[in-house]
Chains A and B, each alone.
Chain A
Amino acid sequence: MIKKHLSGVKVAHRKNTEDSPAVQMPIPDRVTLPMLQNMGAPCKVLVKVGDEVKVGQVIGDTDEFLSAPIHASVSGKVTSVHEIVIATGVRCPAVTIESDKLQTVHESVSKPVINSREDVIKAMRASGLVGLGGAGFPTHIKYSPKNPETVDTLVVNAAECEPYITSDFRTMMDETSYLVKGIDTLINYFGFKQVVIGIEDNKPRAIEKLNKEFASNSKVKIVTLRSKYPQGAEKVLVYETTGRVVKEGRLPADAGVIVSNVTTITVFAKYLETGMPLVSRTVTVDGGAIAQPKNVVAPLGTSFKDIFEFCGGYKSQPAKILMGGPMMGIPVYSDEETLVKNNNAILAFNEQENKKFFETPCIRCGRCVRACPFDLMPRAIEMAFLNEQVDTLKELKANLCMECGCCSYVCPAKRQLVITNKLAKKMLREKAN
């Protein structure tokens, strides 16, 4: 039975910052840039303590396939190269630069020359771009599918389905001309037959504006999505906008689709004009502990503390700080954590918002099954995991879980179904053979 829509959950939008166009914050005294800011492999540090660096200079790169270079976001002096543990719990090297506040631009920064698809892909890598919507998948890899001739559709992810986050919305409203240029370039060089921009219906202004902007381009279609989390999840978005199903173990390209975040495309168009790689980004700063929630443009590597200070500081003690939205965001250990490429929001929750949940026995209400966008059975997966039934986990397709959090969100017994599913996937990987 083919369903018209995939399931999900209705969450309070809390788009408090939607009327706040992004403001550039002052250059911080220092930035710390982790060498892992993308899905895939970390970069090797190319500078040493004492080096003078300039904005846009490559300070980290690698020969690994799934990675993207990292550039200095401020000009100044490298004061430390050390190992850190980033929010995801992974160890990687990091470079700290003491800023001279001059923001001197590096000589290598120049407008790229684009004449072919290969040039575009090269430029994507040189720009250091990764998916800015949260996943951080290196952009140049995404645009180099194994079967480029079968890819006919570009799906632009402008769903922004996580509560609080408005950085994509502001990009659409404030930098529309770059978005138009970016999409034009991608159509020209990749030969997309159609471009579908998926936007949740809680952003009517963006839908109206983009409809007007793209009225003359018959290849571009704006699709209004129901506001039902997680519309912005890749496979969900592809299905809801094109009706195509990305099969288990396959990539969207296998369904003839490339999915790109709306801000990623906009930032790429800017890069094509200026040659300035990804050294800063727009980030939504919100949460009950923040005095003045707003959208901020900050250099990568700026500490959350500095960003919060620019937002009027804490109005109450923060109890939980999230990198990303409340549904899939990663909690950080301290406000010394720094801004990375795929970090679209920073939320500082106060004590009231930091609700603690205690697990009680499952009452088999079936809400997790009804909420799962992929029709998995989270409770059955939990049982199979606790009993270490690897075959059952395989049968239940625990591997398909995208960890969107709908099951945990709806569970009246407050069971930690997502984390159990993560562990179940790990068990599957380890014991599959």
Chain B
Amino acid sequence: MNNKLTVSPSPHIRDNATTASIMLDVVIALIPAIIMSVYVFGMRAALIIAVCVASSVAFEFIFNRLVGKPCTIGDLSAVVTGVILALNLPVTLPLWMAIFGCAVAIIVAKGLFGGIGANFANPAILARVVMLVSFAKPMTEWLIPSMTNGSSLNISELVSGATPLALAAEGSLDKMPSYAQMAIGTIGGSLGETSAIALALGGTYLIARRVITATTPIVFLGTVGIMTALLGHDPILHLLTGGLFLGAIFMATDYSTSPLSEMGKVIFGLGCGIITVVIRLYGSYPEGVSFAILIMNILTPHIDRLTKTKPFGGVKA
């Protein structure tokens, strides 16, 4: 034997999962929603998604370079942020605004707080909220998809109109789409929020691959459903619309900004659900998912502190 032996700490074998493989799973889970966004809103949806992914990755690369950190674009987390942010935007949004949103997500929400795992709020949510406040009008201009021009980049061919929640808030129930349309996603809204079925499909994949546990989405959705029903509103309308599935499955389950323990996830989901319903029914915004998750993001360290695990055989000191 003439070569040197490796001496390193145990364990000497590791699970195949890596940060990149987990992020890749999230991207795969988002594919049904991406396909539906293009189907419903046309090729401009694909353009917005592509621009968001490219600019998110570029901002991460540039930021790491500027602050002298190792390049982390290989972990694919910037890709995930780009896709999720894009799915939160209206198809009519000017591209420069989308690029600005990516800068907020990657540089402000993620980079400045220490990069992956250290951000206090979900980058896509923070960016969406900043954009909602900065570009109030373009961020809330929804188009009712016209199924005939699926491949058109010409947004003028789509008919503009309100989201189902806005219709409900206005009381214009006659224009309300059917439950089936809401589930499939041929309704007004942001790129990725309209198709509950596509989002649920992705969520099932994430749970099956054990990337996330079902706790947060189920508690979040359950709370919204039960609370709206108890308060005399239409629970199915509230469940299927307003980005609830997108938020509950893909944003409230963000590792960095949600609690570690299952008990913590129950509290987190419950909080998200309650705040969402309160904003929707009693606030001036028709939709409350982003704000609800953002507020619970900030409470996460406290929830973590309250829900520490009880070590096996541990004795109180």
Q: Report A's interface with B, CB cutoff 8 A.
A: 6, 9, 11-12, 163, 235, 239, 245-250, 305, 314, 317-322, 326-335, 349, 354-357, 360-367, 369, 373-377, 379-380, 394-397, 400, 403, 405, 408-414, 416, 418-419
Contacts and interface: CB of A to CB of B under 8 A. Distances in A.
B94 interface: no
Interface string B230-266: 0000000000000000000000000110001100000
7 contacts: A247-B315, A320-B5, A331-B12, A379-B260, A380-B308, A405-B10, A414-B18
Contacts of B315: 247-249
Given A360-B75, A365-B22, A412-B21, A248 B313 contact: yes
B11 interface: yes
Given A327-B12, A335-B1, 5 more contacts: A374-B311, A395-B317, A411-B15, A412-B15, A412-B22
Nearest to B3: A317
A305 B1 contact: yes
Contacts of A419: 9
Given A318-B5, A354-B6, A366-B261, A235 B11 contact: no
Contacts of A361: 72, 114-118
A229 to B, nearest CB: 9
A327 B14 contact: no
Contacts of B19: 360, 363, 412-413
B156 interface: no
Nearest to A354: B6
A369 B256 contact: no
A12 B16 CA distance: 12
- Best-buried of A317, A365, A411 by chain B (most CB within 10 Å): A365
Contact of B311 (A11, A379, A397, A413): A397
A330 B312 contact: no
A362 B313 contact: no
Contacts of B116: 360-361, 363
B171 interface: no
The binding surface of chain B is classed by DSSP as: loop
A242 to B, nearest CB: 14
A234 B10 CA distance: 19
Contact of A400 (B21, B22, B75, B314): B314
B7 interface: yes
Given A163-B13, A405-B11, A409-B15, A375 B311 contact: yes
Contacts of B11: 326-328, 405, 408-409, 418
B311 A400 contact: yes
A211 to B, nearest CB: 29
B309 A369 contact: yes
A331 B1 contact: no
A125 B17 CA distance: 46
Nearest to B8: A331
A357 B14 contact: yes
Contacts of B115: 361
B7 A331 contact: yes
Given A363-B117, A363-B256, A400 B12 contact: no
Contacts of A248: 311, 313-315
Nearest to A374: B312
Nearest to B75: A360
B310 interface: yes
A363 B313 contact: no
Contacts of B5: 318-321, 331-334
A313 to B, nearest CB: 10
Contacts of B256: 363-364
Contacts of B18: 412-414
Interface in B176-201: none
Nearest to A404: B11
A400 B311 CA distance: 8
A358 to B, nearest CB: 10
A15 to B, nearest CB: 14
Given A412-B18, A412-B19, A377 B312 contact: no
A373 B308 contact: no
Contact of B13 (A249, A400, A409): A409
A416 B13 contact: no
A372 to B, nearest CB: 8
A362 B117 contact: yes
Contacts of B6: 319-320, 331, 354, 356
A283 B265 CA distance: 46
A376 B313 contact: no
B309 A377 contact: yes
A12 B14 CA distance: 10
Interface string B277-317: 00000000000000000000000000000001111111101
Contacts of B14: 355, 357, 408-409, 411, 414
A362 B114 CA distance: 11
A159 to B, nearest CB: 17
Contacts of A363: 19, 22, 77, 116-117, 255-256
Contacts of A11: 13
A305 B1 CA distance: 9
B281 to A, nearest CB: 32
A405 B13 CA distance: 10
A400 B116 CA distance: 30
B314 A397 contact: yes
Nearest to B312: A374
Nearest to A3: B312
B68 to A, nearest CB: 15
Contacts of B309: 369, 375-377
